[in-house]
């Protein structure tokens, strides 16, 4: 039995902390990897965090908090297709926006990141497009600039301002080709760069990446990720009295990891450091909550841990777990400004006529203009796409788009449902439904689809024509542990339900499986389980589950419109340990 909050015991790392604030990890649950966070006193003592978004649009979400516990989505940096047209053509789910670094300087927020075309050869100069976004108003999505591009044949680019004001970028080349952390000077206004220099190769583990530089007590501290973003993930550090090195590794590297332990939080790494208003240090990192079967469909999430960093000494990180104790931060109200809601909010949407979808709603690549709207009756209107959620090959951008909109799964245990008016479904394989979606090759769909019925009607003495009828169909596609694509369940909709609005539901009653069910609107007692999806089949890659609705003709010509109402997401509980 899972409770609403199930906590792990917290084991304090060496070092003394005056700890009297408890909080729960993850602070940004669900699909929020590669975190970068800052504290900005000039903005009413507010903390801001950015995270990776890969092929999701709008992308690069910015969350804000006054107390490191209540995090509100305030804007999306990537919010209009004209900012970055290439996102719409990138193949593979591992492509897109990688590892943003958020910094603040003299009234301006800087967001430096990389658009990665991950299907290109590792040594291709076209594989990486490095970008600088700026804003003076982080609470408004449209205030984020178009990007300034700069030349760097690598990824995980992070800016650092030296004492003399010179900006440097640290990043990494494709580590399989040329491992090691690189540094280069940058004009952050124009994108002009200088020569690149290798400054540290890490401790010898695979994939040295995710670098950040910090200046403290006469040293340049370089913090990186190593070991890959899976089970061997870790944080390591080095320091030097010169920005060019040589860099001396921390004598007790790695400084942060859960590798080789039985902790529920695994894959801890790719960290960033920042100070609060009292000058005390904190770190954020990515982590996954891994079930006993190895599954973590919620993907890579953002966790927070306190850090002791005495003058002239190396920092000491506290181990990451679900129930944490940290430096005292007074509880504060939710940030008032911004466009979205608390990261772990439940949602009940009737879609007000004349309104737009909130910043929490996302698409897979860019939405096709005109395929989404809000009707005067307060329903979400979808126009079908020819492509279904897998598309032509499960990795490519579909030229005509994919009609799909969803929100992140942000609770271990939840109920998500949406109600469909399906009267417009007429032709074979026309389908509308809900999906628990990781990417084009990893998703489970519960659709209402027009299929041949089991009965035939006789039109003449010489021909029998099979009529079409609406069916429930559960489809599953995954590459874990091997590629499969199949209909998991197909059943005709009961005749008394036809002509009624149908509610489709996805529910996580435990941390390993999703239950998919359906029934007439408002008749909870008639809900029927249609099928199940295994969370292990959604444990892959860099992203996390999106709970979504879709409409498709499954490759056939023509189109139809369907209306979605009663969108509900109820967060039931977070599982943070055994």
Active site residues: 34, 209
Strands (DSSP E) found in 51-126: 56-57, 59-65, 72-78, 96-105, 108-116
Q: What's the rounded Cα separation, in Å, for the pair 157 and 171?
A: 4
Contacts of 261 (CB under 8 A, 6+ apart): none
Q: Are the beta carbons of 529 and 515 closer than 8 angstroms? A: yes
Q: Scan for tokens 């000077």, then name that residue.
A: 185
Q: What's the rounded Cα separation, in Å, for the pair 384 and 298?
A: 27
Phi-psi region of 99 (alpha: psi -120 to 50; beta: other; left: phi over 0): left
Q: Scan for tokens 């698409």, then name that residue.
A: 363
Q: What are the distances in angstroms from CA 281 to CA 63, 151, 272, 315, 458? A: 19, 33, 10, 9, 77
Q: Are the beta carbons of 537 and 481 closer than 8 angstroms? A: no
Helix and strand tally (H, E) in the chain?
A: 0, 39
Following DSSP, what letter does each residue of 340-368 receive, concatenated?
A: S-BTT--EEE---TT----TT-BEESPPP
Q: What are the distances in angstroms from CA 43 to CA 48, 101, 107, 335, 343? A: 10, 18, 9, 11, 20
């Amino acid at each position: 039995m899972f409770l609403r909050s199930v906590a792990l015991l917290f084991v304090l790392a060496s070092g003394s902390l005056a700890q009297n604030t408890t909080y729960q990890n993850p602070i940004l649950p669900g699909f929020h990897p590669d975190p970068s966070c800052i504290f900005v006193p000039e903005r009413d003592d507010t903390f801001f965090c950015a995270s990776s978004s890969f092929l999701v649009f709008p992308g690069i979400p910015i969350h804000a908090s006054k107390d490191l516990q209540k995090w509100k989505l305030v804007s999306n940096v990537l919010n209009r297709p004209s900012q970055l047209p290439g996102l719409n053509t990138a193949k593979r789910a591992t492509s897109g926006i990688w590892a943003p670094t958020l910094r603040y300087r003299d009234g301006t927020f800087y967001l430096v990141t990389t658009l990665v075309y991950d299907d290109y050869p590792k040594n291709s100069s076209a594989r990486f497009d490095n970008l600088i976004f700026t804003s003076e108003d982080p609470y408004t999505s449209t205030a984020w600039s178009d990007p300034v591009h700069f030349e760097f044949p690598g990824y995980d680019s992070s800016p650092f301002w030296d004492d003399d004001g010179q900006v440097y970028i640290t990043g990494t080349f494709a580590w399989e080709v040329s491992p090691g952390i690189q540094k280069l000077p940058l004009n952050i206004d124009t994108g002009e760069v200088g020569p690149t220099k290798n400054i540290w190769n890490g401790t010898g583990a695979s994939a040295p990446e995710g670098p950040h530089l910090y200046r403290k007590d006469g040293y340049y501290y370089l913090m990186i990720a190593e070991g890959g973003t899976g089970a061997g993930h870790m944080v390591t550090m080095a320091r030097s009295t010169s920005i060019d090195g040589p860099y001396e590794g921390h004598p007790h590297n790695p400084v942060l990891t859960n590798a080789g332990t039985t902790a529920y939080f695994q894959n801890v790494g790719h960290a960033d450091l920042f100070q609060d208003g009292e000058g005390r240090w904190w770190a954020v990192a990515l982590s996954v909550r891994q079930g006993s079967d190895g599954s973590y469909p919620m993907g890579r999430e953002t966790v927070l841990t306190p850090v002791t960093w005495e003058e002239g000494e190396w920092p000491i990180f506290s181990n990451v777990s679900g129930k944490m104790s940290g430096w005292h931060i007074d509880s504060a109200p939710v940030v008032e400004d911004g466009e979205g809601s608390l990261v772990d909010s439940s949602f009940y949407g009737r879609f007000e006529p004349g309104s737009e979808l909130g910043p929490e709603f996302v698409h897979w690549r860019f939405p096709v203009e005109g395929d989404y709207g809000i009707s005067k009756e307060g329903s979400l209107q979808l126009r079908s796409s020819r492509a279904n959620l897998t598309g032509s090959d499960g990795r490519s951008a579909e030229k005509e788009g994919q009609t799909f909109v969803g929100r992140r799964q942000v609770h271990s245990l939840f109920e998500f449902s949406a109600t469909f008016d399906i009267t417009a479904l007429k032709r074979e394989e026309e389908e509308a439904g809900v999906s628990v979606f990781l990417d084009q090759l990893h998703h489970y769909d519960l659709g209402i689809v027009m299929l041949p019925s089991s009965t035939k009607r006789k039109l003449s003495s010489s021909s029998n024509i099979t009529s079409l009828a609406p069916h429930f169909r559960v489809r599953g596609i995954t590459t874990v542990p091997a590629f499969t694509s199949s209909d998991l369940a197909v059943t005709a909709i009961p005749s008394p339900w036809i002509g009624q609005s149908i509610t489709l539901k996805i529910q996580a009653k435990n941390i390993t499986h999703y239950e998919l069910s359906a029934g007439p609107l408002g008749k909870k007692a008639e809900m029927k389980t249609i099928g199940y999806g295994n969370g292990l089949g959604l444990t892959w890659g860099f992203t996390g589950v999106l709970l979504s609705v879709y409409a498709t003709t499954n490759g056939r010509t023509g189109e139809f419109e369907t209306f979605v109402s009663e969108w509900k997401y109820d967060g039931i509980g977070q599982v943070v340990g055994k």
